[in-house]
Amino acid sequence: MADETLPEKIVKTETEWQSCLTPEQFRIARQAGTERAFTGPYWDEKRDGLYSCVACGAPLFRSEAKFDSGTGWPSFFAPVSADAISSHEDVSHGMRRVEIRCARCESHLGHVFPDGPRPTGLRFCMNGTALALATDAGEDGQ
């Protein structure tokens, strides 16, 4: 019997990803880019809702886990589930960090740091451009 908690993988060519993402979404989600602090969507977002992967729509974070880290990026202390994301060592830019990707499509979301609030002590520092927010009032459209 298959494990129903594991997300179904989505595999597309880079050309296919380019056709369904804006150039900035493609740069961040598919090329591991980073938006400048305080410039992307959701860093100061206060509405309740569910944050999903902009590339494949997989649910990633709930607004209840969002907090103001003061960094200029949307920050969360926990994903919706452990299998919603995957972690990868990132040694780019002369640093050792833990990159976070969408487990379903492997899109780059951001990084996780061990300086977050309780209950986890983690800060999932995400690129808002890699996320889409669905609120009770309807889809955000970003």
Domain contains 109? yes
Query: Which amino acids are annotated catalytic?
Result: 125
Question: 94-119 pLDDT, tens per residue?
Answer: 778 799 999 999 999 999 999 999 99
How high does pLDDT run on average in the chain? 90
Q: Could you say which DSSP state residue 43 is in? A: T
**What is the domain-level CATH number for residue 86?**
2.170.150.20
Domain contains 4? no
User: Does 139 score more than 60 pLDDT?
Assistant: no
Distance CA(113)–CA(52), nearest Å, equals 20
Domain contains 66? yes
Domain contains 2? no
User: Does 67 score more than 90 pLDDT?
Assistant: yes
Domain contains 7? no
Domain contains 92? yes
- Tell me which residue range forms the domain holding 57: 14-139
Domain contains 128? yes
22-48 core/surface letters (b: 16 or more CB in 10 A; e: else): eeebbbbbbebebbeeeebbbbebeee
Domain contains 84? yes
Distance CA(121)–CA(19), nearest Å, equals 38
pLDDT band (50, 70, 90) for residue 142: very low
How many domains does the chain contain in total? 1
